Structure 1
């Protein structure tokens, strides 16, 4: 009997059933796809790490070094260190690398290095994750540049140095565990040993060294780093732990997966609200049938099963279909992963972990249904047979009288009045419009913020028009002084500031010494937004990045002191502020220029500048790029885009998906709600028809009320996505070094275009759904 009742309920409410089914399926598809993506990421990262065997500690060094001293150190700490290898990099300026039709790689923010494959560990792989073995005359190009310049296998690139040049044919794309991500500032081209030696004779580039260590299983990374620094071994560049490379590789795919999981949670909430709406309407319609069943002695538990079994069946079927479709949908998300991490994502882990999504959705839906169905317990057989229990006991107060209406037409006023008097009924639709707007606006806000020049402030850089980076060369100090003098006399430059970043020994929370990157200069010219305190303005002052100030860093607060070693002497600096920075693992610092420059460990020099009004920025950029061979010149927007390119591109896909999902949900829910509302109000509609109102006039009342709910829901949705969205994104980004994200709002998109698209789509749905017509005889409807 119960199966027959459930079947009849399916047939009676086809539209309602299909709408709930679609939402549950969408929620499962998104959740399973995101979990699938995370499972793929875990296995792909594990495979890449196993095959590439990256270093646990990497020391970047430019200048002379003694390999014998490093070998002696390795032997001394063999309890911690399993292997050591030194890779020699030839750093080539992008303007000296030619390809295609007279194109060069000038303007890239990446340091380009030509290297030979390592012998022990830190291997650079091909797209099959096999160790690269490049033949003479060929080169393996990093994936980053393959995408950036659309380079293909068989194309040629030419390295020029003075009057010499060396041509290579592209044989492979290089998948580099340590330098894959656009967040790492260096990229390695792999060549044959003979070609590499020929480039050395050409003196094609400056030499730099990666002094790498692979630790034993129980090796202590912090102990090795401290011992290395205290031994005075070569380290005039940053010391990087392997886990940072892992984080950079996983970041873009993980960020997208988190956003999608969040959207799927919102979909589950919407599906639950939809089920609640359906239950209330169905119980209201079936109130007399419930009374009959109770009068016959059928237990409450059995009556609930009649309604619950339907949604159990829907959840199971939707879960299975969503689970299967997710393996197709995930291909839209893992393109970046297939390219940068692993082309083979056939591991079995995803099938197991992805099944969590339909199971979780099933239990959430069933538990919610049981909660809503507790209403049946309150219905007695007598009351159910006598009257409409859902309306019973409510005090109907006459309010919002028509006579006092001075602003709207009668039909519009009655529609608005209906919403205000029955807000408990409309609040579900109201909440859903807020959630749909949130799904629509939040990914767009994230995308616009990352794609904005203002995002540079989260990279520890003040907002400016243009940025010049001087690479680490033998002439960096001379170039820096020359550039400063030229900028002082350049009337096209409104203001500029010069910053030098060096590596300094700093005493950590345990009392031992670590190396951190400290930038010195005048930070009042292009100020940052500080989470606490202010920029260093005088002698003996320093500000720390959020990650450096945390317990995992130096564990300092504003007002605390930091001990820095400069020129063999210790200086005590007072912490004046804490800022946000997601570069270099988030651990950086800024000090007043009185600290002095650690000449032996200068990493890079940066000049930020603003153009005078009317000056062509592109012309000025070309001038400084051509004048200074060791410089790379970028506007801030281009710099940000090159650094976060992968993440920005993937977020654009999420934005398009969010827009489509939000509009589909809003349209389906609106159609469902109005269908049930009109069915519920059939007697009231018949009364209005009997006193002379036309179907068109009645339709206008429902349209006006629903449009008001939509507009107010959109306004609140925009506000929630702006403020709550900032809070949620800040929580997610805090682990990267940015604890307080402020969205960049493009008003015509988030305040006009997106709300307008939602209003048009839902408005058309309202217009189509509010065509009121009483087909039966009015007397029949009134009697019922």
Structure 2
């Protein structure tokens, strides 16, 4: 008998059961892929670092500032288990040319190094995730982002020319670099054969001025190791532990965090809709339950019948969802960063366990909902599930006093009369819309020139590389050479109708001390700028060469405040004292940096690089004119590998703007699908529940078109309320979710987010409301099958 009743029920309510099955499939798919991705994302970096054999401490030393015996000190340090040294030659993007066509380097702030394959300190992963062991002579490999930014393809012929040593290589492909692979790590490697590398190192100028070493230290006691190598710490241009390395991948983790957030939101939506659907479908089956009670079937048998039905649907749905979760989860992960290897091959058990959990949760929902069975009586079958008693008004609206038309009034009254019923719809649409708004805000911000200040740069219109002059400026008189270079550029631009201020920044990594505390830091010095062109959080800009500004993170680390005197130890062995006059925030060196006065006398022989030349037009051109001038600058300076707008520079520095944009577009598609499915499910449920009311309206002469309008309008009103609420809370939610991420990079006060008004206030609301209205209208057409005679029909 059970099977016969179940079979008839499945056939009779085919549409509702199919929709329920669809949402169980979605819940299972989202749950399985989502939890699997959550586990993958939270362990991705640790797993990647382990596979790459990342050292516990990583440092860089350049020969031009190396005045101590690094190898000897490392060998005598008893706390070091193992150390590895990789030799490199510093170069700039202008040292690399592609045979037959120019390179288009999009990230100007990256410093490039040419490295030998003789002693590889970590595991570098190729496109097929195999480990790079050696490089054939005449071949060259590049870090993945460098390959992408320069537009390199396997088989390209490129030439590397440094100080007269010119060699042609065949590009063999890209590799993932766990230590320097993040966009925020301002150094990118090229790896060549050891014999090819020796040809460059045979040149004494290259060896002494551009040569250097990467040092990787493996140790079980990092604090002891650092104390044992303290006398060579000044020789390290860059020195990082693994905790700093984690922060360097913060933008890559944003993508993974977004994938995690999308998965969680989809899971919440699916279960919210499922709970509503199961409770709603059970509550409307008063006739069947009343009849079964009338013929003597006990409560436990009736509940068992529904549990059997939903068990069958949930098993089928969970099985299909499990199968779909694998490609869906892989699709989500594919939107994550290209700089990390993410292993999802071992999560099959997790997916299966989540699918089983979905089926179990659905049965628990059903078990809880069927508790109402014991409260029902046979008389409910006669009274259409109503007791006939009501001690309050059905709604708060009054037709006689309302200025709304009949259709609009009925739609609005339905919503206010059953707020819990429509709260589920509002909640799900709010989640979807909020996700889109947050993604839009972050994408627009990471592509906006307003974030340039957080990379230690003054506001400008365009940024270009320094061409072949970059390495020549890293000399004792480098500061003076930079000033002359910028003056010449300003004169050239003015002569060509583009009056502008030209400026640049140079980074020098050194040690800073205050009392008993010390820290590795980056010195930022602008040339062509004034100190008031930068943003400060507290204090006043440095007024002379004896004053500096420090980041809030560094001040906390040193325990220093405005007015305190700190000591900088340059890589050349010189020291100098400065008074702190201001605090600021920056993402340079993971938020640990100082800014010295533009007149401060610094030996640029220890400089590590520059983010490029900044151009600020003084005649106030609009965006279109700026783009036109950028093209003109490219013609004037063909040696420049790239000229970018400020926004494009920010996008290239973060490296995740396009990836977030892709996640946003994927979420928009999912939102449309979910909006349509939720609307169809809810609308179909409401029509089944309100069959008698629809029949009564037809009996008193209300036309089908009016009924279509009522059933469409109430969903449109609900979706509109959700959209409005999401737009009001969009920016606070963005700050709540993303400010903690930027704080990890040293921006304790958060960032100045940028909005795309067209997306937030036009595109997204239109697609959500259109999907809702169309779905509601098409589903409302089902009311045509209901006749006026159905007012008394109880089957």
Task: Work out whether the TM-score is over 0.5.
Answer: yes
Correspondent of 1:761 among 758, 761, 771: 771
1:752 positional shift = 0.6
1:771 paired with 2:781, answer yes
In structure 2, distance between residues paired with 1:776 and 1:130: 68
Name the Cα RMSD after superposition: 4.0
Alpha-carbon deviations, 1:533-569, whole Å to 9, x = none?
466455676655465466xx4467x769573335766
Structure 2 matches for 1:502-521, cutoff 5 A?
Answer: 502-507=508-513, 511-520=516-525
Which residue is equivalent to 1:716?
725
Q: Which runs of 5+ in 1 are unaligned?
A: none
CA contact (8 A) 2:118 2:194 kept: no
1:580 positional shift = 4.9
Closer, same or farther: CA 6–173 of 1 in aligned 2, 3 Å: same
Closer, same or farther: CA 663–106 of 1 in aligned 2, 3 Å: closer
In structure 1, distance between residues paired with 2:484 and 2:21: 69
Which residue is equivalent to 2:667?
658
In structure 2, distance between residues paired with 1:232 and 1:274: 59
1:373 positional shift = 5.0
Which has the larger displacement, 92-101 or 674-683? 92-101
CA contact (8 A) 2:68 2:235 kept: no
Correspondent of 1:215 among 218, 223, 227: 218
1:50 positional shift = 5.5
In structure 2, distance between residues paired with 1:460 and 1:61: 23
CA contact (8 A) 2:282 2:370 kept: no
In structure 2, distance between residues paired with 1:248 and 1:676: 50
Which residue is equivalent to 1:417?
413
Which residue is equivalent to 1:402?
399
1:763 positional shift = 1.8
In structure 2, distance between residues paired with 1:628 and 1:228: 46
1:677 positional shift = 1.4
In structure 2, distance between residues paired with 1:745 and 1:98: 38
Closer, same or farther: CA 283–141 of 1 in aligned 2, 3 Å: closer
1:445 positional shift = 2.9
In structure 1, distance between residues paired with 2:456 and 2:367: 51
Which residue is equivalent to 2:88?
89
Q: Which runs of 5+ in 2 are unaligned?
A: none
1:428 positional shift = 2.2
Correspondent of 1:563 among 551, 554, 566: 566
1:727 positional shift = 1.1
Which residue is equivalent to 1:676?
685
In structure 1, distance between residues paired with 2:161 and 2:152: 18
Alpha-carbon deviations, 1:132-156, whole Å to 9, x = none?
3223222223322332344333321
Closer, same or farther: CA 163–70 of 1 in aligned 2, 3 Å: closer
Which residue is equivalent to 2:647?
637
Alpha-carbon deviations, 1:398-437, whole Å to 9, x = none?
754434444x443333333333333333222222222232
In structure 1, distance between residues paired with 2:790 and 2:120: 88
Correspondent of 1:480 among 482, 490, 499: 482
CA contact (8 A) 1:174 1:189 kept: no
CA contact (8 A) 1:534 1:576 kept: yes
In structure 2, distance between residues paired with 1:48 and 1:365: 37
Closer, same or farther: CA 275–144 of 1 in aligned 2, 3 Å: closer
CA contact (8 A) 1:20 1:271 kept: no
Correspondent of 2:433 among 431, 437, 459: 437
Which residue is equivalent to 1:449?
445
Structure 2 matches for 1:129-528, cutoff 5 A?
Answer: 129-160=130-161, 165-200=166-201, 207-216=210-219, 218-220=220-222, 222-225=223-226, 227-231=228-232, 233-235=234-236, 237-245=237-245, 248=248, 252=252, 254-291=253-290, 303-335=302-334, 340-342=339-341, 347=345, 349-355=346-352, 357-362=354-359, 364-370=361-367, 372=369, 375=372, 388-389=385-386, 392-396=389-393, 400-406=397-403, 408-467=404-463, 471=470, 473-474=474-475, 476-486=478-488, 492-493=498-499, 495=501, 499-507=505-513, 511-520=516-525, 525-528=532-535
CA contact (8 A) 2:33 2:263 kept: no
Alpha-carbon deviations, 1:342-362, whole Å to 9, x = none?
59x584x22234445435544
In structure 1, distance between residues paired with 2:713 and 2:633: 61
In structure 1, distance between residues paired with 2:729 and 2:669: 20
1:503 positional shift = 2.8
1:116 positional shift = 0.8
1:212 positional shift = 0.4
In structure 2, distance between residues paired with 1:574 and 1:758: 52
Which has the larger displacement, 445-454 or 615-624? 615-624
**SS state of the match for residue 506, structure 1?**
strand
1:124 positional shift = 4.2
1:674 positional shift = 1.4
CA contact (8 A) 1:508 1:514 kept: no
In structure 2, distance between residues paired with 1:391 and 1:527: 73
**SS state of the match for residue 103, structure 1?**
coil
CA contact (8 A) 1:125 1:175 kept: yes
Closer, same or farther: CA 422–624 of 1 in aligned 2, 3 Å: closer
1:119 positional shift = 2.2
Structure 2 matches for 1:46-125, cutoff 5 A?
Answer: 49=49, 52-64=52-64, 69-85=69-85, 87-105=86-104, 108-109=107-108, 110-119=110-119, 121-122=121-122, 124-125=124-125
In structure 2, distance between residues paired with 1:508 and 1:226: 18
In structure 2, distance between residues paired with 1:136 and 1:196: 10
**SS state of the match for residue 402, structure 1?**
coil
Which has the larger displacement, 278-287 or 302-311? 302-311
In structure 1, distance between residues paired with 2:132 and 2:119: 10
Alpha-carbon deviations, 1:373-413, whole Å to 9, x = none?
5555665676786563488545126754434444x443333
1:333 positional shift = 4.1
Closer, same or farther: CA 129–387 of 1 in aligned 2, 3 Å: closer
Alpha-carbon deviations, 1:495-530, whole Å to 9, x = none?
566544333423479x342211132456764444x6
1:23 positional shift = 3.2
In structure 2, distance between residues paired with 1:650 and 1:390: 57
CA contact (8 A) 2:141 2:190 kept: yes
Alpha-carbon deviations, 1:306-359, whole Å to 9, x = none?
44554444444333333332322344345577965559x584x22234445435
In structure 2, distance between residues paired with 1:661 and 1:380: 43
CA contact (8 A) 1:625 1:632 kept: no
Q: TM-score, normalised on structure 1?
A: 0.85
1:664 positional shift = 0.7
CA contact (8 A) 1:415 1:702 kept: yes
CA contact (8 A) 1:524 1:535 kept: no
Q: TM-score, normalised on structure 2?
A: 0.84
Which has the larger displacement, 681-690 or 389-398? 389-398
In structure 2, distance between residues paired with 1:264 and 1:308: 28
Closer, same or farther: CA 685–627 of 1 in aligned 2, 3 Å: closer
